[in-house]
Amino acid sequence: MPDTTPPPILVTPDGSRTALNTRFGEAYGSRHGAAAQAHHVFLEGTGTHEHPAPRVLEIGFGVGVNFRATLESAARRGAALDYLAFEFDPAPAGVLREVAMGGEGAAQPLWAALLEAWTDAGASSAGLDVWRGAARVRVHFQDVLSAELPRGWATALYLDGFSPAVNPEVWTPEFVARLSGTLAPGGVLATYSAAGHVRRSLQAAGLRVERRPGAPGKRECLRAVREA
C-alpha cells in the first residue's frame, strides 16, 4: 500500500516553512531558512528579482516555496511571469497550503488558483496550467529526465532537485547539458549545490560558472550563465 502519511511541516529560522520528504529523507527547502534560500540562491542568483518579464524553469516544484517567492516578487514589480515547473511526486494540495500559510505569495490570486486546480485535478493529472493577470504557472507532473524541454526559452533555471547524494540523476553531465539548452541567451541557471562535479558539468555544458556565498547554512552556491 502506498504511504499516505502527510509529510511533516518544518518551520525554519526565518519564519518560513517547508516540509520533510520522507521518500528522499530530505527537506524540500533549506532547514536554515526556506524563504532565505529561495531569495538568495534562486531569485537573486538568476537575477529574476529584477527581471522585467521572467520565464522560469524549475526542477522540481516541491512545495512551491520558490514559486511563491518568485510570484510575489514579480507581482510587486508589475512584471509578467511565465513559470514552468516539473514535479514527478506531487505533494498533496493540503501540504502546499499548510507550508504557504502566512508566507509570501500566499495571498496572490495565482497561488489560490493553483491550489484550487491542484486540489481538483490532483496528482493523477498530467499537470496544471493556470493564469491570473500577467502571471502564468505550468506544473508538469512527470519525470523531467524523460520530458520534452523548451529550447532557448528560460531567463532563469532553478535547479532544485534533491541533493546529488540522494538524487544523482538530475545532476549528471548529460542532463545538465540538456538543461543548458533550455536557457535563453543571457539566461542563468542557479543551484544551492556547489559540488565540484556539478560545477564541472555546468562548465562542460558551455556555461560560465560563478561561485557565490551560500544561503544561511551553506558556504557557497553556484550560478551559471549562458553567454548572450
Ligand X SMILES: C[S@@+](CC[C@H](N)C(=O)[O-])C[C@H]1O[C@@H](n2cnc3c(N)ncnc32)[C@H](O)[C@@H]1O
Residues 6+ away with beta carbon under 8 Å from 219:
194, 213
Cell of 215: 544561503
DSSP for 39-68, written as a single string: IIIIIIHHTGGG-SS-EEEEE--TTSHHHH
The answer to whether 64 contacts ligand X (rule: CB under 6 A) is yes
Residue nearer to ligand X on the CB measure, 169 or 227: 169
**Which of 43, 55, 71, 86 forms a contact with ligand X (CB under 6 A)?**
86
**Cβ(42)–Cβ(160) under 8 Å?**
yes
Ramachandran region of residue 21, left (φ > 0), alpha (ψ -120 to 50) or beta?
A: beta
In the complex, least distance from residue 186 CB atom to ligand X, rounded to whole angstroms: 23
Find the binder of ligand X among 45, 62, 127, 214 (CB under 6 A). 62
Radius of gyration of the chain (CA): 16
Interaction of residue 33 with ligand X, rule CB under 6 A: no
Minimum distance from residue 161 beta carbon to ligand X (Å): 4
Considering only 55-63, 106-114, 179-187, 211-219, which stretch makes contact with ligand X by CB under 6 A?
A: 55-63
Residues 128-167 that bind ligand X (CB under 6 A): 143-145, 160-162, 167
| Site for ligand X contains 89 (CB under 6 A) | yes
Say whether residue 104 binds ligand X (CB under 6 A): no
Answer yes or no whether residue 193 interacts with ligand X by CB under 6 A. no
Cα–Cα dist 27/21, whole Å: 6
Q: How many CA atoms lie within 13 A of 197 on its CB side?
A: 11
Q: Give contact residues for ligand X (rule: CB under 6 A).
A: 28-29, 58, 60-66, 86-89, 143-145, 160-162, 167, 169-170
